[in-house]
Amino acid sequence: MKIICASLDLKNNLSLVSRAVPSRPEPPVLGNVLIQASETTQKVTLIAFDGSLGIKTSFNAEVDAGGSITLPAKLLNDIVTRLPEIEITLEVPVTEEDISFVTTISSISGQFQITGIDAAEFPELPTIAQAAQTLELPIALLNQGLGGCLFAASTELSKQILTGVHLKTQDIGQHGFGDTLEFAATDSHRLAVVATSLNDFDVESDESESDSKSKIELPQLAVTIPAKALRELERIVSDAAESDRVKVSFDEQVMVFELGDRLLTSTKISGDYPAYGQLIPQNFSREIILDRKRLLSSLELVAILAQKNNLVKFSLYKEDAELVVSADAQDVGNAEQSLPAEIMGDDIEIAFNIKYLMDGLKALSTTEIKMQLNEGHQPVIFSPLGGLKMTYLVMPVQIRN
């Protein structure tokens, strides 16, 4: 195998797939990146796989001799990221007697030699049966859904089902199709739910059809996908146009996302996702309208004194139309910020984990937000006024007097 390419192309694509390389690979070949070169297409393909998450990408190069090899991902990445933006040659010599796994990376300034593993030992990425269901999702829809809930997924491996994001089709009609895709994530202390309508993002491909534009429908879907995989999907689509579409294929075990030459595959998380809809209160005795940025700014200030216990207290005063945000660090000091608010309902004091609040406020994105609550020990709902259809539920923290 012999390829000639720009070091920047190799670096960028290697950086993309390397995130699927496990820190403790078993078998050892999973610690490598699979490199495939094709003389026919004049493309180089890179693949990494951790047994659950797989990432594949391709780029154009001058392929003098096709072939494949796996090379240590970390070592290769360390070398390529330090090379200047120049043309490099990657070559694996082949003799009549033997195939060498020693790969030479050379440029005008010098060369490196690293030992790889036979590409035949690298497992194939999971595939989807031809009869599997497929759909196309606009990148704008994915960005909206994932941006509004990924942060709320659990990081505790003991709660595996909660380490994923649950996707399900809503508004299912009599034919088994719907037009709303709901994204949900929870770590049992907070819950983020985003409802996205595919038709809100529909892009007309033919101007002549603009007068008879038909609605796009989603097949029935209810899956839990690892948050880790979806964070990588966010990165994969980050430099694409929002009007571009990601092809999604799925069967009983596997999800596959494709965007041009980029592909991400992930196994689903098995088990029943919590019935989170039952956790969201339907009626509230108190409602507050707030300026999101002012509230976030106030939280950032009092957070300086909330570092010890991450606790922030909200004091609502209806008569003064004021919310007071405060934090108290024992033996250190305290902080207090006030801001105007439209308050409906009785005065109340309620406390939260400040990190949970700030995570949600950053995701809500609108100028004004609505806060709905009942008593100090019951769930509190934050939602945007207009735009994004998002519900953010936070459990309060008990105030100890």
Domain end, chosen from 66, 91, 121, is at 121
Query: Looking at the structure, do residues 309 and 379 belong to the same domain, yes or no?
Result: yes
Give the rounded distance of the alpha carbon of 323 from its chain centre. 33
Q: What pLDDT, on a 0 to 100 scale, did the predictor assign at position 199?
A: 75
Expressed as residue numbers, the domain containing 189 is 133-202+216-276
What CATH code is carried by the domain that includes residue 365? 3.10.150.10
10-28 residue pLDDT tens: 999 999 999 999 999 999 9
Query: Looking at the structure, do residues 268 and 165 belong to the same domain, yes or no?
Result: yes
Query: Looking at the structure, do residues 294 and 390 belong to the same domain, yes or no?
Result: yes
- In angstroms, the CA 45 to CA 55 distance is 11
Which residue has tokens 């593993």?
117
208 in a structural domain: no
134-186 residue pLDDT tens: 888 999 999 999 999 999 999 998 889 999 999 998 764 444 456 789 999 99
DSSP label of 238: T
* CA distances from residue 392 to 43, 84, 189, 224 in whole angstroms, order as listed: 45, 46, 11, 19
CB neighbourhood size of 207 (10 A): 7
31-67 residue pLDDT tens: 999 999 999 999 999 999 999 999 999 999 999 999 9
231-276 residue pLDDT tens: 999 999 988 888 889 999 988 889 999 999 999 999 999 999 999 9
- Structural domain count of the chain: 3
Does residue 117 have a pLDDT over 70? yes
Does residue 203 have a pLDDT over 60? no
CB neighbourhood size of 364 (10 A): 22
DSSP label of 285: S
Residues 273 and 165 sit within 8 Å (Cβ to Cβ):
no
Domain end, chosen from 77, 100, 121, is at 121
Which residue has tokens 């034919």?
175
211 in a structural domain: no
